């Protein structure tokens, strides 16, 4: 076991209709005015937005709203939202949506307490010193943002997709009601499953030290994701499966999988962020393309870990079969595993590799991943 600090103060309110108590949860933190940040207007049509505003108003909480947050969320929208918060002197941010909305909400929370350019936090020019409290009602389970202090945003001007992080950005309360996720499309369910796999496998295959307990925890998450995704593909209304799926998304990036681990990095994310920044590929789709190719490239670095993966997850004694079975499973749930399937032309390899190498430098991974090695990985997915 390597030294670690575990700290995660986010409160999760999990279950049916819990979003109807959001006003009460916000009020507990002394917040009397709030920005509701959301994505598409679907939440207005299906009544969720209305139920949330009723709950806020019952507690006397004043609210403004900013919508239009998109997948691969943009820093420009965050800037718009920061203006609304500052103009109205709002005291909190409530994200209603998936990881994109919540990641944006964290940036708004930090930006509202900062006089400079909010992008400074992403490029390492400033550290978050203060932030408004963040709350969330999740409508998609994938990124784990509901119980961690991280966010990822895209700057379309500079074509950068970069992360932000600070202990001040842990959501105070996140609501996870599996019923709110029942309308997620099969396509996005697949992308979400891949995102969870990627959070787990980046760590599983890169850690220089991985305790057996933590390895088994990750395997439990992966098995649960596969089992519940398969169930949900045939029955989207399976509340139990939707709930287990949602909780594993949370567990995959809330600190539990880091326990006692040393030397891990987020290699597939480093590469995929370039796809999102340049070609607006959905995060999970890009990861599905990158993950098997990356596994092929690095498998000799930790053969015993690949053997364990094949055995535990696919009951196979053959490491390569572990990778091919994973690829097959991605295909079976409708996730793209080639450039063509993800709608990417072959000639995007070099620009993606170049952009990803920019991430590698920022993340201190450029020695391990020179640009030509990133291109080599990407080419494995060009078929």
Binding site for a second copy (CB under 8 A): 1-9, 11-16, 18, 178, 211-213, 216-217, 220-221, 223-224, 227, 239-240, 243-244, 247-248, 256, 259-260
What SS3 class is residue 263?
Answer: coil
Nearer to a second copy, 46 or 213 (CB): 213
Match 């400033």 to its residue by tokens. 126
Nearer to a second copy, 200 or 277 (CB): 200
Least distance in angstroms from the C-beta of 337 to a second copy: 26
Nearer to a second copy, 163 or 211 (CB): 211
Nearer to a second copy, 16 or 86 (CB): 16
Least distance in angstroms from the C-beta of 3 to a second copy: 3
Q: Let me know: does 278 contact 159? Beta carbons within 8 Å.
A: yes
The backbone region for 68, taken as left when phi is positive above 0, alpha when psi lies in -120 to 50, beta otherwise, is: left
Nearer to a second copy, 249 or 326 (CB): 249
363 exposed, middle or buried (CB, 10 Å; 0-12, 13-18, 19+)?
middle
What SS3 class is residue 163?
Answer: strand
Nearer to a second copy, 84 or 226 (CB): 226
Least distance in angstroms from the C-beta of 78 to a second copy: 28
Q: Let me know: does 59 contact 29? Beta carbons within 8 Å.
A: no
Q: Residue 26: how many CB atoms within 10 A of its CB? A: 25
Nearer to a second copy, 252 or 344 (CB): 252
Q: Let me know: does 264 contact 207? Beta carbons within 8 Å.
A: yes
The backbone region for 80, taken as left when phi is positive above 0, alpha when psi lies in -120 to 50, beta otherwise, is: alpha
Nearer to a second copy, 113 or 227 (CB): 227
Least distance in angstroms from the C-beta of 99 to a second copy: 19
How far, in Å, CA of 41 to CA of 35, rounded?
Answer: 16
DSSP state of 156: T
Torsion 154-335-200-203 (CA) sign: negative
Least distance in angstroms from the C-beta of 229 to a second copy: 13
How far, in Å, CA of 117 to CA of 164, rounded?
Answer: 13
Q: What are phi and psi of 64, to 5 degrees?
A: -120, 165
Least distance in angstroms from the C-beta of 148 to a second copy: 13
Least distance in angstroms from the C-beta of 325 to a second copy: 20
Q: What is the DSSP string of 290-337?
A: HHHHHHHHHGGGSHHHHHHHHHHHH--S-HHHHHHHHHHHHHHTT---
End-to-end CA distance of the chain: 41
Nearer to a second copy, 247 or 329 (CB): 247
Structure-block tokens of residue 113: 């307490």
Least distance in angstroms from the C-beta of 249 to a second copy: 11
Nearer to a second copy, 195 or 244 (CB): 244
Least distance in angstroms from the C-beta of 68 to a second copy: 31
Least distance in angstroms from the C-beta of 9 to a second copy: 4
With b for 16 or more beta-carbon neighbours within 10 A and e for fewer, the 225-250 pattern comes to: bbebbebbbeebebeebbbbbbbbbb
């Amino acid at each position: 076991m390597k030294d670690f600090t575990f700290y995660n103060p986010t409160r999760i309110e999990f279950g049916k209709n819990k979003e109807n108590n959001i006003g009460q949860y916000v009020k507990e933190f002394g917040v009397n005015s709030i920005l509701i940040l959301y994505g598409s207007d679907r939440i207005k049509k299906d009544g969720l937005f209305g139920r949330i505003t009723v709950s806020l108003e019952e507690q006397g909480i004043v609210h403004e709203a900013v919508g239009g947050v998109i997948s691969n969320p943009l820093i420009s929208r965050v800037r718009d939202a920061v203006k609304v918060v500052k103009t109205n002197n709002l005291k909190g941010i409530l994200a209603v949506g998936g990881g994109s909305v919540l990641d944006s909400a964290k940036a708004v929370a930090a930006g509202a307490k900062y006089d400079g350019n909010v992008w400074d936090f992403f490029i390492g020019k400033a550290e978050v010193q203060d932030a408004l409290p963040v709350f969330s009602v999740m409508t998609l389970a994938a990124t784990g943002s509901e119980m961690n202090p991280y966010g990822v945003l895209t700057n379309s001007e500079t074509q950068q997709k970069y992360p932000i992080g600070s202990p001040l950005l842990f959501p105070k309360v996140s609501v996870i009601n599996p019923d709110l996720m029942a309308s997620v499309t099969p396509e996005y369910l697949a992308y979400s499953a891949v995102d969870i796999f990627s959070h787990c496998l980046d760590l599983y295959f890169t850690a220089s030290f991985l305790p057996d307990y933590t390895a088994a925890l990750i395997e439990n998450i992966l098995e649960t994701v596969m089992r519940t995704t398969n169930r949900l593909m045939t029955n989207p209304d399976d509340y139990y499966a939707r709930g287990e799926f949602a909780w594993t998304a949370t567990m995959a990036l809330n600190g539990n999988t880091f326990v006692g681990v040393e030397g891990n990095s987020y290699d597939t994310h480093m590469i995929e962020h370039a796809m999102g920044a340049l070609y607006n590929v959905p995060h999970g789709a890009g990861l599905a393309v990158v993950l098997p190719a990356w596994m092929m490239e690095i498998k000799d670095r930790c053969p015993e870990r690949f053997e364990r993966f094949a055995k535990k997850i696919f009951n196979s004694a053959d490491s390569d079969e572990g990778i091919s079975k994973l690829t097959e499973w991605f295909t079976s749930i409708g996730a793209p595993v080639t450039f063509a399937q993800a709608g990417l032309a072959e000639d995007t390899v070099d620009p993606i590799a170049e952009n990803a190498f920019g991430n590698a430098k920022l993340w201190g991974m450029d020695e391990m991943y020179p640009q030509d090695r990133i291109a080599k990985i990407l080419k494995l997915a060009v078929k």
